Structure 1
Amino acid sequence: MGKKDKKKEKDVGKEIVKDKKKKSKVVKSEDGIPIITAASAIILIGIAIYGYTVYQDLAQVPEMPELDLNVWWGQNTTEPQDTSIRPYRIVFSDAMESEIRWLFEMYRRPNKKKSFEDTAWNYGVHSEAFAQFFSYWIFKYSFIQRPKFLNKFDHFKTNIQGLDIHYIHVKPNVDANTKVLPLLLLHGWPGSVREFYEAIPLLTTKREGYDFVFEVIVPSLPGFVFSEAPARRGLSPHQMAIIMRNLMHRIGHKQYYVQGGDFGHAVGSNIATIFPNDVLGFHTNLPVNFSKLAYLTWVFGSVWPTFVAGEHVDKLYPFADKVKFLLEEFGYMHLQSTKPDTVGIALQDSPAGLAAYVLDKFMIFTDPANKNDPEGGVQKYFTYDKLLDNIMLHWISGSIATSMRLYKECIADAEVEQVFSQIPTPVPTWGLRFKHELAHSPDFVLKWKYPNLVGTTNVDFGGHFAAFERPEEFSSDVFKAVKAFLSFKK
């Protein structure tokens, strides 16, 4: 091909490209509006609608859902409800002890696989540490004395919405010049009322600088230990909040203070949100805002951590490290949110299995550094008796499966629970922020949910189980918070 032919071919190609560009510029709809401009407008409108939807979902306060305050959770019956308050005692029967000791032997008999020497608790409960714990359980834990200790406080049961609810009730012995304030204490999982045993005497004893003391009510949440489990699905935290409020009314308290951690925080926060006129003040040792906006703030804060977290940067960031911890340690949550009955059967079949499963949570959630300690920090923060009391309460009541169902109910009712997390409560609130708590929210984020956040206490120690691990510091902070609540005006 000659040079002239090549030049002619290039000129033709250029003309075709120009012609296509001209055509693309002038393509219009029947109304004369350029097609590209119309498409851009549609995309922009779509983005605007989506953005407004996200704004409504995250920033706007939803309306309070309509709630039935008398939902029946028990077995269907035509018999009238027994509303009496009945004394209750914890019993470790001879048959229970014989059964558990037989199961101990079943566990001891096979040869066990030992943990790796250099892993400590990074693979879970370390076999050597657990062997010491298990040996104490067999030979030194007193099946005679421990029930006496557990019955040192008055226990009761009463039927609320079809469920027999167990609770401890301790009234202080004080003079007529001392105010007695009702305080509802709410535990979480895998805890129980045992978490508060060391704190109860501290809360019911008058102390210098305070003209009040507490009358303490400590219920077992429905499905936990001696509180009856529901006969049907749906008993999520806000439904438990209604039961706890009705329990307080049954006892005779129309107004009271609430304290909670773990699931106790979720239930207590819902009581304050749904019944703000009942709750005089809310103290939490899990001061976290669980709304979607709070989560997004945490995520975007990874770009500028000090701007979001201030002096608490190490509690929220580096973001990647915190997410890695959650992925590594929260597998149990996924399991219990999907198949609680499956793992429940396995745990109830083996006291050793139940102990290992629960022990792992107490050690790691008290201090993540425990997983690098071959001893696991078992006796560093707790005594064997304290830990075994809690395990035994779950074992003798056969309640581990029903207690874990709360996780699945939270997932099933997540949309409604999220609504409650977005509704601000006017109740005066105080947060106790321990160093190794599993989650944290800066004060300004907490105020989106708790606008009357009276104060927070920040300490450089402690973990997730505040009352169980640090009863003195826990009790002192409750006193300090309630003193602030009494002088607070809504």
Structure 2
Amino acid sequence: MPTTDVQAFEAHAPDAELDDLRARLAAARLPERETTSHRWAQGVPLADLAEVVAYWRDEYDWRAFEARLDRIGQFRTTIDGLGIHFLHRRSTRADATPLLLTHGWPGSIAEFVDVVDELAEPENGTAPAFHVVAPSLPGFGYSDKPATTGWGTEKIAAAWVELMGRLGYRRFAAHGGDWGGVITTILAGRFPAHVLGIHTTTAQAPPGSPTDGLTASERRWAEETRDFWRDRAAYAKQQATRPQTIGYSLVDSPVGLLAWILDKFAEWTDTADSPFEAVSRDRILDDVTLYWLTRTGASAARIYHESHDSLDPELRVDVPAAISVYPRDIEKCPRPLAQERFRRIVRWTEPETGGHFPSLEVPAFFVKDLQDGLAAVLAASR
């Protein structure tokens, strides 16, 4: 296949794969319950996990998710020898702007399926419309798994520019959170000739940025972010140093994969007790099942090995940027620190609700915030 080809793609897991998943769930060996009365203090509680496993085995409908992906439009192309999968939804609006959406870990393109249609064809005629492109990161979902090292965030950003060019989008806006936020930052800093501007929920200041003059609330944000990386980021250290080791469990055991991912949905969402207060079981299982069926638990974990703590401290973003800091996100960068890297912040918002997965937790608000943020970005880029 010529490397410039873009080909349509349809998702369809063999029935045998789904039967095998159900059989593995039925034969799962679970440990005893946690020994603490504080439910999530030791990780995913046994009762919660057992309930989700039963639902996944007996009621969850993967075919419905496959159909939703196909309705949006799926494609693949090869860039630098690696097959890249992506969703592509063109708007009917003549004034639509190309928009690149990049997910993170433990997310996937499943983060965006509920917001693509409204971004492409907004009900409010005065809201901006977008031609939406949402690629699967290398090693995630239906993208190929890199067979060698080198596919870090810098190379991914360059590949995204190539991808958008193949679709006829020489200049585009970009959004991302988590790893998608890092990649979006690199896109804006390295490729300003192609990036009109960005919206991100993951604004990272350069290391060592001065904290003098921060307000009490801004200082608390900085302290909470520091504490997260010091006390609650064992998953990142494991995947950065031993992705192959944890990968065996993630690829071989659906219950192990579910627990590993569900733990993050629980801790990183804006909820009092259970992630299902904010995100439905089906939406979380769409994401987990995509990892399972594509056998990408290990390959997705390797993005930490490639890129953990690797964002260039000297990188600066001079294109217009809109930044949203959700209250229960894991990294909350105060604006004075963010301005050290993002030098044209045209819109800064601090929503009242939401966590690390806003497109799943508060999809209607997320879409409006993204529309408003990118409207400000596009106005400033003219």
Under a length normalisation based on structure 1, what TM-score does the superposition of the two structures give?
0.74
The structure-2 alpha-carbon separation of the partners of 1:133 and 1:216, relative to structure 1 and needing over 3 Å to count, comes to same
1:343-396 deviation digits (Å, cap 9, x = unpaired): 0111111001100110001110114x65xx3xxx13201111100000011111
From 366, 370, 376, the counterpart of 1:478: 370
Structure 1 residue 478, shift from structure 2 partner: 1.4
1:238-281 deviation digits (Å, cap 9, x = unpaired): 11101111111111110000000000011111111111010001
Rg: which structure is higher? Answer: 1
CA contact (8 A) 2:103 2:177 kept: yes
Q: Where do 1:54-453 residues align within 5 Å? A: 81-107=2-28, 110=29, 112-116=31-35, 118-174=37-93, 178-208=94-124, 210=126, 212-289=128-205, 291-294=206-209, 297-298=210-211, 307-309=213-215, 311-316=217-222, 319=223, 323-367=226-270, 370=272, 373=273, 377-411=274-308, 417-419=310-312, 421-453=313-345
The structure-2 alpha-carbon separation of the partners of 1:173 and 1:391, relative to structure 1 and needing over 3 Å to count, comes to same
CA contact (8 A) 2:279 2:361 kept: yes
The structure-2 alpha-carbon separation of the partners of 1:312 and 1:485, relative to structure 1 and needing over 3 Å to count, comes to same
SS at match of 1:179: coil
1:128-178 deviation digits (Å, cap 9, x = unpaired): 01111111111111244332233221100001111110000001234xxx5
Q: What is the match of residue 32 of structure 1?
A: none
CA contact (8 A) 2:182 2:202 kept: no
| Cα separation, 2, equivalents of 1:288 and 1:119 | 32
| Cα separation, 2, equivalents of 1:459 and 1:206 | 21
The structure-2 alpha-carbon separation of the partners of 1:113 and 1:166, relative to structure 1 and needing over 3 Å to count, comes to same
1:31-72 deviation digits (Å, cap 9, x = unpaired): xxxxxxxxxxxxxxxxxxxxxxxxxxxxxxxxxxxxxxxxxx
CA contact (8 A) 1:179 1:211 kept: no
SS at match of 2:27: helix
What is the aligned length? Answer: 382
Structure 1 residue 117, shift from structure 2 partner: 5.8
Which structure carries more helix by proportion?
1
The structure-2 alpha-carbon separation of the partners of 1:239 and 1:394, relative to structure 1 and needing over 3 Å to count, comes to same
The structure-2 alpha-carbon separation of the partners of 1:211 and 1:115, relative to structure 1 and needing over 3 Å to count, comes to closer
| Cα separation, 1, equivalents of 2:311 and 2:7 | 36
The structure-2 alpha-carbon separation of the partners of 1:276 and 1:349, relative to structure 1 and needing over 3 Å to count, comes to same
SS at match of 2:289: helix
Unaligned runs of 5+ in 1: 1-79, 302-306
The structure-2 alpha-carbon separation of the partners of 1:211 and 1:284, relative to structure 1 and needing over 3 Å to count, comes to closer
Under a length normalisation based on structure 2, what TM-score does the superposition of the two structures give?
0.94
The structure-2 alpha-carbon separation of the partners of 1:183 and 1:418, relative to structure 1 and needing over 3 Å to count, comes to closer
The structure-2 alpha-carbon separation of the partners of 1:211 and 1:430, relative to structure 1 and needing over 3 Å to count, comes to closer
Structure 1 residue 463, shift from structure 2 partner: 0.6
SS at match of 2:101: strand
CA contact (8 A) 2:127 2:371 kept: no
Query: Which amino acid in 1 is paired with 2:64?
Result: Q
The structure-2 alpha-carbon separation of the partners of 1:408 and 1:379, relative to structure 1 and needing over 3 Å to count, comes to same
The structure-2 alpha-carbon separation of the partners of 1:268 and 1:489, relative to structure 1 and needing over 3 Å to count, comes to closer
Structure 1 residue 111, shift from structure 2 partner: 6.4
SS at match of 1:308: coil
| Cα separation, 2, equivalents of 1:238 and 1:143 | 33
CA contact (8 A) 1:315 1:435 kept: no
| Cα separation, 1, equivalents of 2:156 and 2:289 | 24
The structure-2 alpha-carbon separation of the partners of 1:250 and 1:486, relative to structure 1 and needing over 3 Å to count, comes to same
Structure 1 residue 313, shift from structure 2 partner: 4.3
Two-structure CA RMSD over aligned residues (Å): 1.9
Structure 1 residue 209, shift from structure 2 partner: 6.4
